[in-house]
Each structure stands twice: as structure tokens, then as C-alpha cells.
A and B are shown apart, each in its own frame.
Chain A
Amino acid sequence: MRIGLLYDILRWEEKNLVEESKKLGFKLYPLYTKDTVFFSNELKLNEDIDIFLQRNVSHNRALVTSFIIEQMGYHVINDYNNLILCENKIFTTYLLSKHNINVPKTYVAFNRISALEYAKKLGFPVVVKPVEGSWGRMVAKADNADTLYSYLEYQEFTNQKYKDIFYVQEFINKPNRDIRVFVIGDEVPVGIYRVNEGNWRTNTALGAKALPLKIDEEIREIALKVQKIVGGFFLGIDVFEDKERGYIVDEVNGVPEYKNTVRVNNFNLSEFLLKKIAEWVKR
């Protein structure tokens, strides 16, 4: 099998994919997108490649390169359509909600005054998130209207892409952890708890500790249902546990990182992913 690897930074995951491809006897063609130039009248590549794997850390580069490579007639995991749905939190939340997946109660407002006013409907504390973003960056919890006002004002005067779209969510009173499960093809092979004793945000990028997760049938079903709704072959799904409402899907990641998942589960995710891709290509 010949796999193209679209990437911009060679993180642990990408190095591991290179190593595991070698072990499996697959040919891996790394395409370093930062120094690649694409011409619209040259929609072909020199290499003969069966499928591409999208691993760009920059959402912009991921979305654009998935799109261009797909125009060349290749399949990309994940495709640009899936990346659009995952990278924009509004799209993910509303799409999942429409399909009766439990998500945090959320509203979107287009001015600061409405954003402030309607927080009362949710009840404080509320969470404000950038429409696009990762690693818990700029995700803030407002305990009262005064704090919320300050966050909204900060957002409005930043230079972020969606600075005048306010995405406000109820605060889920979860334990000091959340869940990350991985969907690969039609399977949910592995997951972790992300535990943070000192920060309500449970991103590992913010210091949360990864612990192995035993995947129960309910979470498996939710993960596969989410995959059917947003598409994509390789997803990292973040789930909260709520005492009354059960599992609540928070976010879906289209280019998931998995270094800590591999470490604590002793599960070779790169190998599993590559083998599943090979099965899919053969079909």
C-alpha cells in the first residue's frame, strides 16, 4: 500500500506513522505541506499513491490540502468536508444536536449584548469558546455576568477569525476528567480519561493526565453514531460524564493526537490505523 502523509510539523504521531509503515511494508510518502506549492492547472502528483492521511497541525493547511488533494482524485483521511464540520464548533454542535446526540446546551449570538443577556437562560457558570481552536486555548468559564462581559469584550477586540460570533455553553459539572475515544473506520478501539486535578479544562495540552479507559457499549454506540453524522475515518471524540444526563459529546477532532493514548494503553494506534486504512483501500 502507498500512503501519502500530509503534514506540517513532524510530531510524535507522524514519526510513529513513518516507523509503523516501514514495519508493515507500506510505502509512505511524506508531503511537507509548508514548503509545497500547488498549481490549479497541475492536478496530479508524480507519485502513485493509494490514499492520503491528513496530519497537518494547522487547521487552515489541513482543510486546504485535503480539499486540493481530493480535487486531484485521491481520497484523504479525513476529507475536507469532515474537517469543516469538526473544526468549526458551531457546525459540530448544531449538527450533533439535530441528530439527537447529547451536547452541552449552547447558543450562538452575533453581538455582545445578546450574548450577555441570554447567559441567564443557561444559568451561570457558562463557558465561552472560540468558534475554532484547540488544546483548550482561550476557553473560559464565567461565574457571573460581570466576568462574562469582560470575556466577551476581550473576544471582540482580538483579531481572531470569528471574533464577532459568540459561542456560549452551559458549564457541565463533570468529574475532574473527560473522555477521549477514537473512531477508526467502523471501530472504537481505544480511549483515555483525561484527568486534571487543578484545572476544570481537561485538555492534555493543559496538563491533564491520561489514564486508560475501558470502553463500554454505550460510549461505543455514541462514538459510531457521531462518526456517521460528521463523517470521517479517523476521529477523536471528547465526551463529558454528567450525573443526570449521562454522556454528553463535547467536541469532535478531525486530526486527533494520540501520543498519550498509546503510552497509557500500550496500544499501537498507528499500526491499527494503517491496517484499517489498508482494508478500506482494498474494498
Chain B
Amino acid sequence: MVILKCPVCGGDVSVEDDALPGELVEHECGAQLEIIKQNNRLNLRLAEEVGEDWGE
């Protein structure tokens, strides 16, 4: 597991070592977060809201 920081509340968020960018994580503070890769390391950002063009 990797411990990352929630960009909203600063709390700890654990994700799998082999997590892929684009994976969504719900944090206990209520934020929906998205895993990203920056400089070859996993990180978190606030997930994008549902877009008008989203769907099947």
C-alpha cells in the first residue's frame, strides 16, 4: 500500500502499489479523488465532475 495525501483535507489515503491513474477513490472527508501519476509517483487530485459528453 502507498499512503497519499487527500488534496482536500490533507488526510491520509491508502491506495494499492499497482493502482493505475484514473482510478477513483472515495475519501472519508467526502471528497471523490482520482489517482494520477506525477514524476513517476502516484498522487491524488479532485476527481473531474461528470461531463455533458460522458457516457456509453
Partners in one complex: yes
B54/A32 in contact, CB under 8 A: no
Separation of A58 and B53 alpha carbons in the complex (Å):
6
Judged by a CB distance under 8 angstroms, whether A95 is at the interface is no
Interface residues of A in 42-80 (CB under 8 A from B): 57-60
Judged by a CB distance under 8 angstroms, whether B37 is at the interface is yes
Separation of A14 and B35 alpha carbons in the complex (Å):
15
**CB of A240, distance to nearest CB on chain B (Å):** 17
Residues of A contacting B55 in the complex (Cβ-Cβ under 8 angstroms):
57, 59, 133-135, 137, 205
Q: Encode contact with B along A158-179: 1 for CB under 8 Å, 0 otherwise.
A: 0011000000000000000000
Q: Which of A109-117, A183-191, A249-257 contacts B (4 or more CB under 8 A)?
A: A249-257
A10/B56 in contact, CB under 8 A: no
Judged by a CB distance under 8 angstroms, whether B20 is at the interface is yes
Separation of A254 and B56 alpha carbons in the complex (Å):
7
Q: For chain A, which range describes its interface: under 10, 10 to 19, 20 to 34, or 35 or more residues?
A: 20 to 34
**CB of A25, distance to nearest CB on chain B (Å):** 18
Judged by a CB distance under 8 angstroms, whether A125 is at the interface is no
Residues of B contacting A18 in the complex (Cβ-Cβ under 8 angstroms):
20
**CB of A211, distance to nearest CB on chain B (Å):** 19
Interface residues of B in 37-56 (CB under 8 A from A): 37, 48, 51-56
Residues of A contacting B13 in the complex (Cβ-Cβ under 8 angstroms):
none
B56/A58 in contact, CB under 8 A: no
B53/A132 in contact, CB under 8 A: yes
B56/A134 in contact, CB under 8 A: yes
> Which A residue's beta carbon lies closest to that of B24?
A9
> Which A residue's beta carbon lies closest to that of B56?
A253
B24/A30 in contact, CB under 8 A: no
Residues of A contacting B26 in the complex (Cβ-Cβ under 8 angstroms):
none
> Which B residue's beta carbon lies closest to that of A86?
B56
A10/B53 in contact, CB under 8 A: no
Judged by a CB distance under 8 angstroms, whether A20 is at the interface is no
Judged by a CB distance under 8 angstroms, whether B21 is at the interface is yes
Judged by a CB distance under 8 angstroms, whether A7 is at the interface is yes
Interface residues of B in 9-43 (CB under 8 A from A): 20-24, 34, 36-37
> Which B residue's beta carbon lies closest to that of A33?
B22
Interface residues of A in 105-151 (CB under 8 A from B): 132-135, 137
**Which residues does B use to contact A, with CB under 8 Å?**
20-24, 34, 36-37, 48, 51-56
Q: List 8 A-B contacts (CB under 8 A).
A: A9-B22, A34-B48, A35-B36, A132-B53, A133-B53, A134-B56, A256-B56, A257-B56
Known: A14-B22, A15-B23. 7 other contacts (CB 8 A): A7-B22, A32-B22, A34-B21, A57-B55, A59-B54, A133-B55, A161-B53
Q: Which 4 A-B pairs have the closest CB atoms?
A: A134-B55, A253-B56, A32-B21, A59-B53
